[in-house]
Amino acid sequence: MADDDRPAPRLPVVDSATLSAMMKAMAVTPGSEDDFTQKDFAFWTTQPVVQFSEAPGSSEGEPGPIEPAIPVSEVKQEPYTLPPGFEWCTCDTTDEATRLAIYKLLNENYVEDDDEMFRFDYSDAFLAYALRPPGYEKEWIVGVRVIKTQKLVGFITGVPAHVKAEGKTVRVAEINFLCVHKKIRDKRLAPVLIKEVTRRVHLTDTWQAVYTAGKVLPRPYATARYHHRNLNPKKLIEVGFSSLRANMTMARTIKYYKLPEQQTLAGWRPMEPRDVPRITVLLNEYLDRYLMHPVFSEEEVAHYFLPKTDIVNSYVIDPQIASAAGSGEPPASSEIKDFASFYTLNSTIIRHPKHNILRAAYAYYNVANTVSFHDLMYNNLIAAYNLQYDVFNCLELMENGGVVKDLKFGMGDGFLRYYMFNWRFAEKAGHIRGDQLGLVLM
């Protein structure tokens, strides 16, 4: 990047307070931060999680469970008790009416900013993508209904995954989408939902879980800051997401954030089904350098990364195409060694006369071997820009932190905290830095 393209002190950056306020509540506590009173916080002191009163790492210097597994026959067989008038349900995400009920609950009660200007919009297709990965457990999609009306008023999900925590591969449940209807948050259903999904996870002989939250609970093993890259400044300013800085005009702001219409890396193309075996190897080899990361099967790579419109975009640098665009000589290797991806999570813009959707891309997993990580992410931005996304977000983890400044990301106010249920990390890594963390949870 040329020197005159780098951010200058007086130039604008994204005013990210609004998005950060929304994103602080993402993952295990979206739409439900108000549910967690002091009594609910005390709930976590009864759970097998690392407490603030103890050392973060294992006294033996080895990672491992806090509580040992028990025979599944000894797990509580009956659901936890709900307040009168409510009942448990297992949400069948293959049923259209059930998906509509989930969408309605999340759309109206999940995450919105304090000024009620923006609300995350989890589409039907996105929910199917997030909740039905290979080997998903139907019983881990948990709901609470009003008995009289059958209205869905509470929700929490788990999906199976494998992570490698400091060298140990563990089957886990990824917990997400905890949501309680605004009108019944005095019922304190959030802790009961967590206990019930935990019970159901245990019934499948799975004893660990991973989750994220914007707020501090006992006890995060890692924390990552959000960064936001403005792609469509005019629209973001019009909807109140950001504002013009002092001494800046709209024209100068648009020019500052403008990106090319063409990719700058030769061989850049969308990922295809034939790439799945190679990308599986590439991702797992790359992620193995981090202290905490997922382990992907080919089926999971196909599900999570093959491009799906308005859900996930993935790209590779194809050596054969790159060679044809250059000298024409055959490449030294036909193996794909570079991979880029981002997923989509749009927000509804509430009560605006001109705009109704804020299109947001989120950095997913990115691997650069034959090109610089900076150039790979720059081309991710170009791809999102040309697909008419409005903002590109990333967490300061893996290699992201080293490129956000040059790529004109604005530092966010929000932090995402990472947690692992029933697991204690080694003493030397009681708290993992962002550049040691290789896990992205939607």
pLDDT digits (tens, 9 = 90+) for 204-213: 999 999 999 9
Q: How far apart are CA 72 and CA 26, in angstroms?
A: 31
Run of H or E residues at 302: helix 298-305
Q: What is the pLDDT of residue 9?
A: 30
354: helix, strand or coil: coil
> Does residue 178 register a pLDDT over 80?
yes
Confidence of residue 227 (pLDDT cuts 50, 70, 90): very high
pLDDT digits (tens, 9 = 90+) for 134-163: 999 999 999 999 999 999 999 999 999 999
Neighbours of 268 (CB within 10 A): 23
Residues near 192 by beta carbon (within 8 Å), at least 6 away in sequence: 80, 81, 82
326 to 64, 318, 333: CA distances (angstroms): 50, 12, 15
Residue 244: DSSP 8-state: P
β-strands 208-213, 168-180 pairing: parallel
Longest Cα–Cα distance of the chain, Å, equals: 73
Residue 370, Cβ neighbours under 10 Å: how many?
17
Q: What is the pLDDT of residue 312?
A: 99
Q: How many alpha carbons fall within 13 Å on the CB side of residue 350? A: 13
Domain 44-51+62-210 maps to which CATH number in 3.40.50.1860, 3.40.630.30, 3.30.70.2740, 3.20.20.70? Answer: 3.40.630.30
Residue 287, C-beta contacts closer than 8 angstroms, at least 6 positions apart: 164, 293, 294, 295, 365, 438
Tokens, residue 158: 């788990």
Give the model's pLDDT for residue 64.
Answer: 93
Q: Are 33 and 214 in contact (CB under 8 A)?
A: yes
Kindly indicate the confidence band of residue 26, based on its pLDDT and cuts at 50, 70 and 90: very low
Query: What is the spatial order of strands in the sheet that 118-120 belongs to?
Result: 118-120, 347-349, 357-358
Q: Where is pLDDT greater, at 222 or 9?
A: 222
Examine the pLDDT at 40 and tell me if it is beyond 60.
no
Query: Cα(189)–Cα(185) distance, rounded to whole angstroms?
Result: 7
Q: What is the dihedral of CA 431, 156, 294, 162, to 10 degrees?
A: 110
Cβ(408)–Cβ(233) below 8 Å:
no
Is the confidence at residue 35, as pLDDT, over 90? no
Q: What would the pLDDT profile of 375-415 be if each residue is shown by its tens digit?
A: 999 999 999 999 999 999 999 999 999 999 999 999 988 89
Interatomic CA distance for residues 365 and 371, integer angstroms:
15
Reported as a single tens digit per residue, the pLDDT across 268-289 is 999 999 999 999 999 999 999 9
Give residue-wise pLDDT tens across range 231-259: 999 999 998 888 888 888 999 999 999 99
Using the predicted structure, report yes or no on whether residue 224 has a pLDDT greater than 50.
Answer: yes
Mean pLDDT in residue range 15-39: 45
Residue with tokens 């950060």: 20
Query: Which candidate, 223, 340, 344, 345, places its Cα nearest to that of 292?
Result: 223
Rounded Cα distance between 72 and 256, Å, is 59
User: Taking the domains of the chain in order of start, what are their residue ranges?
Assistant: 44-51+62-210, 223-436
CB atoms within 10 A of CB 98: 17
- Candidates 238, 190, 241; CA nearest to 217 is 190
| Amino acid identity at 294 | P
The angle subtended at Cα 226 by Cα 2 and Cα 397, nearest 5°, is 80
**One-letter amino acid of 347:** S
| CATH T-level fold of 223-436 | Aminopeptidase (3.40.630)
- Fold match between 44-51+62-210 and 223-436? yes
